[in-house]
Amino acid sequence: MTFERWAGSERPRHLDDPSLALMIPSNYDAPALARRALMGLTNGYDDHFIADAQLLISEVVTNAVRHGGGGDIDVAVWAPEGALEAVVCDGGPGFTPLRSATSTNGNGGMGLEVVDTFCESRGSSHDAPGTVWFRVAVAS
C-alpha cells in the first residue's frame, strides 16, 4: 500500500538557490534546529502555515536522524509565493515508503503518514543517498 500524495522518487529540481540551506548534525537536536530555521521564511505566510511546515520538516528530519546514514543532514528549502518545498538528504541507503500499522505504543512510526496528510506532494529516493522531499501549499 502506498501513500496518497506520493509523487515518486525523483526529487524536484530548482533553477534558483534555496531560500534556506542547512547542514545539521544528525542528533536529537536536529528537528528543533530545522523548525527554528523555518521561522525566518515567513514570506507573508500566516502562523498556521508556518506551524504546518514546521511539523513536516520536524517529521522528515526526525526520520533522517533515526534511519539515515548518521552523518550530517542536508536541508534545503525553497519558499516560492504560495508554497514551501523542502528536500532533506541524510546520506542513508534510501527506501521504498510503505504504510505501517498504526503505532499505538508511543514509539513513533507515523512520521511519513503525518507528512502525507499535511503536504500537497512528497517523495523519497529508493537508492542512496537517502532523500525525502515535500511540497506544502498555502490554503486558498
Class of domain 20-137: alpha beta
Q: Per DSSP, what are the bridge partners of residue 71? A: none
Q: Could you report the per-residue pLDDT of 50-85, keeping only the tens digit for each? A: 889 999 999 999 999 999 888 899 999 998 888 899
Q: Could you report the per-residue pLDDT of 86-114, keeping only the tens digit for each? A: 999 998 888 776 655 554 455 556 677 88
Q: Could you report the per-residue pLDDT of 14-27, keeping only the tens digit for each? A: 889 999 999 999 99
Across 15-139, the runs of DSSP E, i.e. the strands, are: 20-24, 73-78, 83-89, 121-124, 131-137
Q: d(Cα 113, Cα 20) in Å, to the nearest integer?
A: 25
Give residue limits of the domains in the chain: 20-137
Number of Cβ within 10 Å of residue 47's Cβ equals: 8
Q: d(Cα 46, Cα 139) in Å, to the nearest integer?
A: 10
Here the contacts of 13-16 (C-beta below 8 Å, separation 24 or greater) are 14/78, 14/85, 16/78
